[in-house]
Amino acid sequence: MPLSVQETEVKNPPVSRPPLDPHLKALENEAIHIFREVAAEFEKPVMLYSIGKDSSVLLHLARKAFYPGRVPFPLLHVDTTWKFKEMIEFRDEIAEKYDLDLVVHTNPRGAEEGITPFSHGSALYTDIMKTEALRQALDAGGYDAAFGGARRDEEASRAKERIYSFRTPDHKWDPRNQRPELWNVYNGMVRKGESVRAFPLSNWTEVDIWRYIQAEDIPLVPLYYAAERPYVERDGMMILAEDPRLELKPGETVQHGMIRFRTLGCFPLTGAIRSTASNLEEVIAELEIATVSERQGRAIDRDQSGSMEKKKREGYF
């Protein structure tokens, strides 16, 4: 049938791709539904953008959900100033390319009090530069809904997270007293000051994320692909050694090897894996035979048992 081309404000219109398989299509449909529902029911939503692969999928789904309109809310990046350099470059490119409203927030205490992952340890550093910073940014923006890319398969305490996760005015999560969530009917009623964290990727697994990235040709930070990179071995992790702020401890040397990252966070707290998977197909092939979870490379999850739940109660994503 004849089609008239409509003018819209979307930059970089989509290209034609082969249809998704029914599994990914079902997950995509669910995520788009959640995006639209939150955008319609809340006054001031925001999307947490961490630049990683899950955030990249989340952003892609947001663009799909609101097409042919623009993404109708800003993206918030909590910048600890300790992210990988390539992440920041990628973030700014994407914001420009897709015409996004990007809000970047850094907790001023970091610079004022000299808080670094080296000086204060991962637990305190994360609490101040991520959790506290996130609360500051959400309060400053007056956001009543925040999208996040968390998945229920990531960690035990996430398995009970609702898709609309209710938070008190001081951002507390009460796992014992969550609102029941039936069918796909979401309760978006909150009082002033209260908010929800909304998780469109709740039912996705790590393999789904990668397969979707492949099917939809979603651009990623190159650190996810193996390359010859400098690294230092510390506390059983391979830490990328290219930032001048990384000081070598006695006995440490910079080594070189084919490495890549399964998750991206602050470079001093994120361990690489040895890999030769230098493109998407190889990464997926590697993942399908993987015997360890992706969060294994995250120092903050390993501080203590139940540490993620504790952080979440305090307002961490």
Rounded to whole angstroms, the Cα distance separating 163 from 56 reads 19
16 binds another protein (CB under 8 A): yes
- Applying CB under 8 A, which of residues 178, 218, 233, 257 lies at the interface with another protein? 178
Is there a contact between 232 and 263 (Cβ–Cβ < 8 Å)? Answer: no
Candidates 205, 230, 257, 286: give the one binding another protein (CB under 8 A): 205
Q: Which of 8, 119, 168, 279 binds another protein (CB under 8 A)?
A: 8
Q: Which stretch binds another protein (CB under 8 A): 24-32, 113-121, 123-131, 273-281?
A: 24-32
Cβ pair 295, 154 in contact under 8 A: yes
> Least Å distance between CB 142 and another protein?
19
- The SS3 assignment for 307 reads helix
The CB-of-181 to another protein minimum distance in angstroms stands at 7
- Using DSSP bridges, classify how beta strands 237-240 and 255-260 pair: parallel, antiparallel or unpaired: unpaired
Nearer to another protein, 27 or 46 (CB): 27
217 binds another protein (CB under 8 A): no
Binding string, residues 272-301; x marks residues near another protein by CB under 8 A:
------------------xxxx-xx-----
Return d(Cα 221, Cα 90) in angstroms, integer.
Answer: 6
Closer CB to another protein, residue 253 or residue 289? 289
Dist. CA 28–CA 25, nearest whole Å: 5
* 253 lines the binding site for another protein (CB under 8 A): no
DSSP code for 34: H
Which among 100, 104, 102, 103 is positioned nearest to 9, based on CA atoms?
100
Among the listed ranges 33-41, 90-98, 260-268, 277-285, the one in contact with another protein (CB under 8 A) is 33-41
Pair 204, 24: CB distance under 8 Å: no
Nearer to another protein, 140 or 156 (CB): 156
Q: Which is nearer to another protein, 169 or 175 (CB)?
A: 175
Taking the complex as a whole, the smallest distance from the CB of residue 96 to another protein amounts, in Å, to: 20
d(CA 100, CA 122): 31
Query: Is residue 67 close enough to count as binding another protein by CB under 8 A?
Result: yes
Which of 120-128, 182-190, 217-225, 268-276 is the region at the interface with another protein (rule: CB under 8 A)?
A: 182-190
Candidates 90, 85, 123; CA nearest to 298 is 123
Q: By CB under 8 A, what part of segment 149-168 binds another protein?
A: 152-153, 155-160
Q: How far is the CB of 53 from another protein (least distance, A)?
A: 17
Binding site for another protein (CB under 8 A): 1, 3, 6-10, 14, 16-17, 19, 21-23, 25-29, 32-33, 36-37, 39-40, 63-70, 152-153, 155-160, 175-176, 178-185, 187, 189-191, 202-203, 205, 207-208, 290-293, 295-296, 305-306, 309-310
